């Protein structure tokens, strides 16, 4: 951690979210330590000290703040929700009601709040979308509409048709003219990510707290003329395993295919990104030079910022000509952590 204490104190005083994960601040007068964006009242500069990780703060005798909860990942999926999602992925046709949740030792109100907060829909709507995603794929494989409707847990063909049309904008019999993009949450040590995939490969991998994420979803759906729905995809299983290996320092290149969506120029910029060796950093200027025009630094930087497939298309490996870290959609602190991970493994 090379940041001056004055910079960290200012970031903490201003509750700057860009420094989340970069440092933690211990307050000597209270014996607690906080995140940089903690909403608690900030102490004087002489009464604080900074840590590069929570372990060091705890070893120094500090207790985690009860307000900002520095030991927790605020976007991480709770274990009980993970179990429910796993169960649904194995049997999309089932309908879990409040009684079923209680039988599993889960409070229904907790489940409802989590799905509203993280998916913007009710748990009931989530299950219905998951069932319809599976039904869509069955129909595209040529299965019978009536059998698919009942196999998907719908009690009537009319109810299935109406729900199908509400989600995909077309009737089941016209489903072969439509395309879907599967969406799933994936947990990583740096936070929860959204993965989106089509048959060709992964077309999005972004942290769930990325700014303008909703706009990215809309652009992706429009570009592919598709509907984004929560559902499973064969690429997700491989991606999950490879991301786990990557963060453990056991994998330097991904085998799961990517399907970047953008203009031809953007795709050319992203292709250069994949040429940056693991553990190294390039400048935007070098990127532009490899594209044949050193004057296109600004255009290259803009294209990097529009990359929707984080980590796999490693825009985090591009830094300023002066050696400083520059903008990153997932937050500067994540860029720093990713670079630290890759350089540490090579040592």
- What pLDDT digit, counting tens, does each position of 107-155 carry? 999 899 888 887 888 898 888 888 888 888 888 888 888 888 888 888 8
**Shared-domain flag, residues 273 and 325:** yes
CA distance 186 to 192: 6
Q: Is residue 271 part of a domain?
A: yes
Is residue 288 assigned to a domain?
Answer: yes
Is residue 160 domain-shared with residue 202, that is, in the same domain? no
In a domain, 252, yes or no: no
Domain span holding position 190:
182-247
In terms of pLDDT, which residue wins out, 220 or 74? 220
Percentage with pLDDT > 90 across the chain: 35
The total of structural domains in the chain comes to 4
Q: Is the pLDDT of residue 54 over 90?
A: no
Domain end marker among 171, 199, 232: 171
Q: Is residue 332 part of a domain?
A: yes
Domain boundary among 149, 171, 193: 171
Q: Note the pTM of the prediction, 2 decimals.
A: 0.73
Rounded Cα distance, 319 and 303, in Å: 14
Residues 159 and 186 in one domain: no
Tens of pLDDT, residue by residue over 173-213, are 888 778 899 999 898 888 889 999 999 999 999 998 887 88
Domain end point (choices 152, 171, 190): 171
Domain co-membership, 308 together with 284: yes
Residue 254 covered by a domain: no
Are 330 and 281 part of one and the same domain? yes
Helices (H), the chain: 5-13, 54-59, 79-90, 98-103, 108-119, 123-140, 145-151, 157-168, 213-224, 234-247, 264-273, 284-290, 297-305, 332-346
Whether 246 shows a pLDDT value over 90: the answer reads: yes
Same domain, yes or no: 305 and 335: yes
H helix runs in 105-261, sequence order = 108-119, 123-140, 145-151, 157-168, 213-224, 234-247
Which of 70-74, 226-230, 246-250, 282-286 has the weakest average pLDDT? 70-74
Helix (H, G, I), strand (E, B) or coil at 79: helix
Residue 40 covered by a domain:
yes
Residue 212 lies in a domain: yes
Q: Is residue 14 part of a domain?
A: yes
CATH of the domain at 158: 1.10.10.60
Both 89 and 163 in a single domain? Answer: yes
**Residues with active-site annotation:** 315
């Amino acid at each position: 951690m090379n940041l001056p204490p004055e910079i960290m104190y200012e970031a903490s005083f201003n509750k700057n979210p860009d420094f989340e994960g970069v440092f933690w601040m211990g307050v000597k007068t209270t014996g607690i330590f906080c995140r940089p964006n903690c909403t608690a009242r900030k102490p004087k500069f002489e009464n604080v000290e900074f840590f590069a990780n929570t372990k060091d703060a705890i070893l120094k005798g500090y207790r985690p703040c009860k307000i900002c909860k520095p030991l927790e990942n605020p976007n991480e999926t709770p274990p009980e929700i993970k179990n429910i999602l796993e169960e649904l992925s194995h049997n999309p046709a089932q309908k879990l009601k409040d009684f079923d949740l209680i039988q599993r030792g889960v409070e229904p109100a907790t489940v409802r709040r989590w799905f509203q907060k993280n998916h913007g829909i009710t748990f009931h709507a989530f299950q219905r979308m998951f069932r319809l995603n599976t039904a869509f794929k069955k129909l595209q494989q040529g299965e019978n509409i009536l059998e698919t409707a009942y196999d998907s847990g719908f009690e009537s063909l009319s109810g299935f048709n109406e729900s199908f049309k509400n989600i995909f904008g077309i009737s089941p019999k016209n489903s072969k003219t439509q395309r879907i993009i599967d969406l799933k949450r994936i947990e990583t040590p740096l936070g929860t990510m959204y993965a989106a995939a089509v048959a060709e490969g992964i077309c999005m991998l972004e942290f769930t707290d990325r700014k303008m994420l909703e706009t990215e979803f809309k652009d992706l759906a429009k570009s592919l003329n598709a509907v984004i729905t929560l559902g499973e995809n064969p690429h997700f299983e491989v991606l999950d395993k490879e991301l786990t290996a990557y963060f453990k320092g056991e994998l330097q290149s991904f085998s799961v295919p990517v399907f970047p969506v953008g203009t031809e120029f953007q795709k050319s910029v992203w292709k250069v990104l994949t040429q940056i060796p693991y553990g190294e950093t390039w400048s935007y200027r070098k990127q532009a030079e490899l594209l044949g025009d050193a004057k296109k630094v600004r255009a290259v930087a803009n294209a990097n910022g529009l990359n929707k497939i984080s980590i796999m298309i490693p825009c985090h490996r591009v830094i300023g000509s002066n050696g400083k870290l520059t903008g990153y959609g997932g937050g500067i602190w994540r860029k720093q952590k990713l670079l630290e991970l890759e350089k540490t493994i090579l040592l």
